[in-house]
């Protein structure tokens, strides 16, 4: 039920701080330690390489997951689009672990891969919002994202829930390997939840930005580097599927290798810079597009020369920034679709779960 909300999407965006807190509770035991099935921990420890398989928004969460697992747990990870992997399997490592990320647990492309790799005898884990689903039943192990039912076609809370679970998994694996971690993941998720809350109070501002930047434009670009690039891909998917604005997420440095030719007077370009090592490079990329007439909307983090930026996210651990930076992006996509008269919860040509190949 969407209650007093005009759309499920808006309700689901706003539920995200609650979902974070719910995940913290569900993944803690009575001694405040992380609760994780011993077999899952062992399966990750045994892997010499992890293959994340997913589609759409879940694939975008998988890109963030790769960064987290590699940086926190030091295990190499490849994230693959399910429908590509299905017919173009790369050379696998000796002891791979397959992680399927799927909100619905019913995505046919991902299931196709699951069936194939099970036949090859590989270990499988599904991260899903629907524990009784096909991918959950057919994989050896399941981790639940506890986001509650997601009804809007555009995935929002499932994305941040998937990332939160991947963070917990990364840290637990690191600890089991004896890698020293200088932060508490549950505390970081709590900090992210509080940072999300701040944007719930800034809806009017975000609505105005959607109006200013996206009411009439035929296209929009999102640029970021590293973790921010992955969020840009998710932000652009969100915008295009519900507002029908042609949108693309790009690696900041890649734009000048071709796509910058599309920048015209007034083209909106959203820049995201929350990562210490690359934020200045991204600002440089924004200057390049502004010089060609782009209409810039800069999003950054506290402490990163943010004085002139349109949106500033509160300071959070760099690996957890996607949980927060995606929130204004989701709101902006929502309001852009609304202003353009689109059917926000049920965009054209799309189904909530894609159960055919």
Residues carrying an active site annotation:
352
Selected binder of ligand M6R within 16, 58, 142, 267 (CB under 6 A) = 58
Residue 65 is a binding residue for ligand M6R (CB under 6 A): no
Q: How many CA atoms lie within 13 A of 158 on its CB side?
A: 29
Using rule CB under 6 A, residue 198 touches ligand M6R? no
Question: Closest separation between CB of residue 166 and ligand M6R, Å?
Answer: 14
Residue 276, classed as helix, strand or coil, is coil
Rounded to 5°, the CA angle 49-161-19 comes to 155
Write the burial class of residue 315 (CB in 10 Å: 0-12 exposed, 13-18 middle, 19+ buried). Answer: middle
Residues 263-322 that bind ligand M6R (CB under 6 A): none
Among 44, 154, 263, 311, binds ligand M6R (CB under 6 A): 154
- Asked if 57 interacts with ligand M6R (CB under 6 A), we say yes
The residue number whose beta carbon is nearest to ligand M6R equals 56
Residues 331-350 that bind ligand M6R (CB under 6 A): 350
**Candidate ranges 28-36, 148-156, 169-177, 312-320; the one touching ligand M6R (CB under 6 A):** 148-156
| Alpha-carbon torsion (145, 206, 264, 224), positive or negative | negative
On whether the CB atoms of residues 299 and 327 are closer than 8 A, the answer is no
Residue span binding ligand M6R (CB under 6 A) among the ranges 140-148, 153-161, 165-173, 221-229: 153-161
For the chain, give the longest Cα–Cα distance.
58
Q: Is the dihedral of CA 141, 146, 151, 153 positive or negative?
A: negative
Question: Shortest approach of ligand M6R to residue 155 CB, angstroms?
Answer: 4
Which range, of 49-57, 168-176, 295-303, 305-313, touches ligand M6R by CB under 6 A?
A: 49-57
Location of structure tokens 């998720």: 189
Pick from 63, 54, 167, 67: nearest CA to 113:
54
- Min dist CB 326 to ligand M6R, Å, is 12
Compare residues 108 and 198 and give the one whose CB is closer to ligand M6R.
108
Using an 8 Å Cβ cutoff, are 136 and 119 in contact? no
Left if phi > 0, otherwise alpha if psi is -120 to 50, otherwise beta: which for 82? alpha
Among 16, 79, 83, 103, binds ligand M6R (CB under 6 A): 103
Binding site for ligand M6R (CB under 6 A): 55-58, 102-104, 107, 110, 153-155, 237, 241, 350, 353-354
């Amino acid at each position: 039920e969407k209650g007093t909300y005009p759309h499920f999407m808006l309700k689901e965006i706003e539920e995200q701080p609650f979902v974070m807190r719910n995940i913290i509770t569900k993944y803690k035991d009575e001694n405040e330690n992380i609760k994780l099935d011993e077999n899952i921990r062992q399966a990750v420890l045994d892997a010499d390489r992890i293959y994340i398989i997913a589609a759409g928004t879940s694939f975008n969460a998988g890109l963030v997951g790769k960064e987290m697992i590699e940086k926190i747990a030091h295990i190499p990870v490849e994230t693959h689009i399910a429908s590509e992997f299905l017919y173009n399997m790369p050379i696998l490592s000796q002891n791979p672990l397959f992680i399927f990320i799927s909100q619905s647990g019913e995505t046919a492309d991902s299931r196709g891969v699951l069936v194939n790799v099970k036949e090859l005898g590989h270990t499988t884990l599904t991260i899903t919002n629907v524990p009784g689903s096909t991918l959950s039943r057919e994989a050896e192990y399941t981790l639940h994202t506890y986001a509650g039912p997601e009804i809007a076609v555009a995935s929002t809370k499932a994305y941040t829930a998937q990332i939160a679970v991947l963070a917990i998994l990364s840290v637990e694996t690191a600890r089991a390997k004896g890698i020293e971690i200088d932060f508490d993941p549950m505390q970081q998720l709590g900090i992210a939840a509080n940072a999300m809350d701040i944007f719930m109070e800034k809806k009017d501002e975000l609505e105005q930005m959607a109006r200013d930047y996206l009411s009439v434009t035929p296209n929009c670009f999102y640029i970021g580097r590293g973790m921010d690039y992955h969020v840009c891909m998710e932000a652009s998917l969100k915008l295009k599927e519900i507002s029908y604005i042609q949108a693309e997420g790009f690696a900041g440095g890649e734009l000048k290798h071709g796509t910058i030719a599309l920048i015209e007077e007034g083209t909106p370009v959203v820049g995201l810079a929350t990562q210490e090592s690359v934020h200045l490079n991204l600002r440089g990329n924004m200057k390049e597009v502004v010089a060609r007439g782009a209409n810039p909307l800069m999003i950054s983090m506290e402490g990163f020369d943010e004085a002139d930026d349109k949106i500033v996210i509160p300071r959070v651990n760099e690996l957890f920034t996607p949980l927060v930076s995606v929130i204004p992006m989701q709101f902006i996509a929502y309001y852009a679709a609304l202003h353009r008269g689109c059917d926000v919860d049920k965009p054209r040509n799309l189904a909530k779960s894609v159960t055919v190949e």
